[in-house]
Amino acid sequence: MFKLFKTILKAGEATTKYPFAPFPVSPGFRGKPELDPTQCISCGACTIACPANALSMGTDAQAGTRTWELFLGRCIFCGRCEEVCPTHALALTPEFELAVGRREDLFQRATFKLEPCAECGQPFASHKEVDYALALLVQSGLPAEEAEAQRTHLATCPACKRKQNLADPSKVALGPYINKGML
Ligand code: SF4
Ligand code: SF4
């Protein structure tokens, strides 16, 4: 018996005190993804990368808003969203206690204001995304005033940009043919 106690004492504690004490997880543990809405520019990169379709983006053109949504019930904690996020707005946390009483509590949402196209007025990208593109120009060395002068161009939707490019013969080689009615 004494020998058994000695072996037990030597082995130390084989179990943890969880759930009466916090359970320490390993560094790099992939738990619940958390969004920092102040950092998010609503670019949608994470929603495209998510292999489990746990992330989605919904646009309400009437209200001029775009809503980012995470449904934890589908998340497989792969970390792809964190990898692709350009602004470090989304990160996996050490949190693993995810049980909830209501399905609705498995959702995280954040809503962003959309920028209307400078040409046609249709909302197409989030206001923060346009600001982010300008900030990147400044970061890459363009003086702030010159970057600001690009705002109208950056705030033009892809469809209007295409039309502008086609109408301007100096920008697209097809322009002269279109203007002459040859295409
Ligand atoms: S961790 Fe993976 S599955 Fe979960 S939201 Fe991010 S990309 Fe999707
Ligand atoms: S990739 Fe990052 S910035 Fe873009 S929508 Fe997802 S969380 Fe927001």
What is the atom index within ligand 2 of the atom nearest the CA of 88?
Answer: 2
Residue 68: pLDDT band with limits 50, 70, 90: very high
This prediction has a pTM of: 0.81
- The span from the CA of 26 to the CA of 80, in Å, is 19
For the chain, what's the residue count?
Answer: 183
pLDDT tens profile 128-148: 999 999 999 999 999 999 988
pLDDT score for 181: 59
Domain boundaries, the chain: 28-165
Q: Is the pLDDT of residue 52 over 90?
A: yes
- For residue 100, what pLDDT band results from cuts at 50, 70 and 90? very high
- Taking the centre of ligand 1 as the mean of its atom positions, its distance from the CA of residue 130, in whole angstroms, is 25
pLDDT of 176 > 60? The answer is no
Closest ligand to C-alpha of residue 54 is 1
Burial environment of residue 66 by CB neighbours within 10 A (0 to 12, 13 to 18, 19 or more) = buried
Q: Which ligand is nearest to the CA of 80?
A: 1
Q: What pLDDT sits at residue 6?
A: 86
Could you tell me which CATH number the domain at 28-165 has? Answer: 3.30.70.20
Q: Binning pLDDT at 50, 70 and 90, where does residue 179 land?
A: low
Question: Is residue 7 over pLDDT 70?
Answer: yes
Lining residues, ligand 1, CB within 6 Å: 33, 49-50, 52, 54-55, 70, 75-81
> Which strands, in side-by-side order, build the sheet including 65-71?
55-60, 65-71, 107-116, 123-126
Task: Judge whether residue 107 has pLDDT over 90.
Answer: yes
How does residue 180 score in pLDDT terms, banded at 50, 70 and 90?
Answer: low
Q: 103 CA distance to ligand 2 centroid (A)?
A: 24
- Measure the CA–CA gap between 154 and 21, rounded to whole angstroms: 52
pLDDT at 167: 73
Most confident among 2-16, 80-94, 129-143, 150-164 (mean pLDDT) = 80-94
39: confidence class by pLDDT, cuts 50, 70, 90: very high
Q: What is the pLDDT of residue 28?
A: 92
